[in-house]
Amino acid sequence: MKIIGFFKTKVTLLIALCIVCSFCCTAQSKLLDSVHRIVFLGNSITYAGNYITDLEAYFITHYPQKAYEFINVGLPSETVSGLSEPGHADGKFPRPDLHERLARVLLLTKPDLVFICYGMNDGIYLPFDESRFQEFKDGLIDVHNRIAQTGANIIHLTPPYYDELKGRNKGYEATLDRYADWVLEQQKSAGWKVIDVHYPMKQFTKAHRAVDSIFGIAAFALAKDGVHPGEAGHWIMAKQILLYLGENAVAAAPDIHAAIAAASQGEAILKLVAQRQSVMKGAWLTAAGHKRPFMNVGLPLDEAKDKYIQIEKEIRGLLQ
């Protein structure tokens, strides 16, 4: 009976979670036909890029007639606030500021749509402070305005969830709650387009821990270090973006594999997309230039683009 009760509890929580997540974002129209180049700006979470790979694989398998280019120019350690804690990276380098490279990135990539995901590093992993918060707000507003001047569409993501239990920076979970709340407020106050990934990630974590705690299981975590989510966390991010874009069928998909299961060669396509993303992000970052040391040097952009075309041919072959 206890086992049955456990599964009933688990199912109830997961159903409730699906309901919560489905209400966390409002379905909008699908990507415009005028959109071709989609650029992702962010820190190490965006640089890891799993959620971008998930998105690209989903759109290839569901809209093979479309020609979208997903460009990852996320940079580890980066902020929009321009802040850096004393002794960051053991004193090896200060956190890079997006403003230093933004103009070059926009000139190089010429995006039709830009996703912006910052905040995780901007509070410098400290309890909430009004002056740091203002630097984040001013920095993000300036980035938004500079991108808007190019004519590109802009969609903001709230800062991903910081798991204080695993990250152990006391007070920082509340800090990022405040940062996420402010980004969400810009929908009404400034007319920004915003997708919430913060609270769906937080709710997912809390729901799992509520079940795990009953049986004394080690606390569930999307991010082992409290910061960098694994596959499950990246899928939540991708799912929230897809739901915002009107892809309501993904609401019940537990992962990208389920979301692309209807495509006969979906797994092979996902693998090729991941391979291509890995090649291209290094090439884009190197070509645009940045001040973050200890990064791998990417291929020359022209050489990387040749590889892009080769992989595209393989993907198209699998779609036939």
Q: How many CB atoms lie within 10 A of CB 284?
A: 20
What is the total residue count of the chain?
320
Give the whole-angstrom CA distance, residue 33 versus residue 45: 28
pTM of the predicted model, to two decimals?
Answer: 0.91
Residues 6+ apart with CB under 8 A from 259: 54, 58, 239, 242, 249, 250, 253
- The count of structural domains within the chain is 1
14: buried, middle or exposed (CB in 10 Å: 19+, 13-18, 0-12)? middle
3-class state of residue 117 by DSSP = strand
Which pLDDT value is given to residue 123?
98
Is residue 196 a contact partner of residue 203, using CB atoms and an 8 Å limit? Answer: no
Is residue 311 a contact partner of residue 53, using CB atoms and an 8 Å limit? Answer: no
Is residue 207 a contact partner of residue 16, using CB atoms and an 8 Å limit? Answer: yes
Give the whole-angstrom CA distance, residue 21 versus residue 239: 9
Q: State the residue range of the domain holding 8.
A: 2-319
Which pLDDT value is given to residue 180?
98
Torsion of CA 99, 54, 161, 208, to 10 degrees: 180
Amino acid sitting at position 240: Q
Reading the chain (320 residues) residue by residue, the pLDDT tens digits are 344 344 434 433 453 344 344 334 443 447 778 899 999 999 999 999 999 999 999 999 999 999 999 999 999 999 999 999 999 999 999 999 999 999 999 999 999 999 999 999 999 999 999 999 999 999 999 999 999 999 999 999 999 999 999 998 999 999 999 999 999 999 999 999 999 999 999 999 999 999 988 877 878 999 999 999 999 999 999 999 999 999 999 999 999 999 999 999 999 999 999 999 999 999 999 999 999 999 999 999 999 999 999 999 999 999 98
Domain CATH for 287: 3.40.50.1110
3-state helix, strand, coil split of the chain in percent (to 5) is 55, 10, 35
Tell me the longest C-alpha to C-alpha distance in the chain.
Answer: 63
